[in-house]
């Protein structure tokens, strides 16, 4: 089943804000609806971890079967992850962050959501970055 891009985006957001305990339940629920999803925890100094976040998104996407091991799919995940990070940069640059990447795929729609808590002393900010790519459905 091919869902609309907005539904795929909502799924990636739900994965990014889910607790680790609920991830497996969400994965099964979305799988029964014909959508593949995954999530991975991230954290560190925002200014230094862009490459690590993109790599983690790629590994999680391949491991969970969201994408094939091909250049086009790798580029879609990397590009969407980079775009989501760019949305977060104004608030997070130079600060320590922790959060989760949520990734969802249905048909040609791929969505990456990054949910972060930004630490500054005892004050915490939260932010979310979201990006979409359209990729060929080669399953």
CATH number for the domain including 113? 3.40.1510.10
pLDDT exceeds cutoff 60 at 1: no
> How many domains are contained in the chain?
1
pLDDT exceeds cutoff 80 at 108: yes
Residue position matching structure tokens 């990070």: 85
34 Ramachandran zone, left/alpha/beta (phi>0; psi -120 to 50) = left
- Residue 138, pLDDT score: 62
Does residue 49 form part of some domain?
yes
pLDDT exceeds cutoff 70 at 75: yes
CB 115 within 8 A of CB 18: no
Does residue 127 form part of some domain?
yes
Helix segments in the chain, DSSP class H? 5-17, 20-32, 50-63, 71-92
More confident residue, 137 or 75: 75
Q: Give the pLDDT mean for 113-127.
A: 89
Does residue 78 form part of some domain?
yes
Does residue 128 form part of some domain?
yes
pLDDT exceeds cutoff 80 at 12: yes
Does residue 139 form part of some domain?
no
C-alpha 61/C-alpha 58 separation (Å) is 5
Domain range holding 16? Answer: 5-134
* Mean confidence (pLDDT) of the chain: 93
Does residue 54 form part of some domain?
yes
């Amino acid at each position: 089943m091919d869902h609309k891009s907005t539904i795929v985006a909502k799924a990636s957001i739900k994965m990014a804000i889910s607790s680790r305990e609920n991830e497996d339940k969400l994965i099964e629920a979305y799988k029964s609806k014909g959508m593949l999803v995954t999530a991975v925890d991230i954290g560190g100094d925002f200014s230094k971890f862009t490459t690590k976040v993109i790599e983690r998104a790629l590994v999680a996407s391949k491991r969970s079967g969201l994408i094939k091991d091909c250049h086009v799919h790798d580029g879609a995940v990397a590009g969407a992850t980079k775009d989501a990070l760019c949305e977060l940069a104004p608030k997070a640059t130079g600060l320590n962050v922790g959060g989760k990447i949520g990734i969802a795929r249905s048909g040609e729609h791929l969505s990456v959501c990054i949910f972060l808590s930004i630490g500054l002393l005892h004050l915490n900010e939260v932010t979310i970055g979201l990006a979409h790519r359209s990729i060929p459905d080669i399953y």
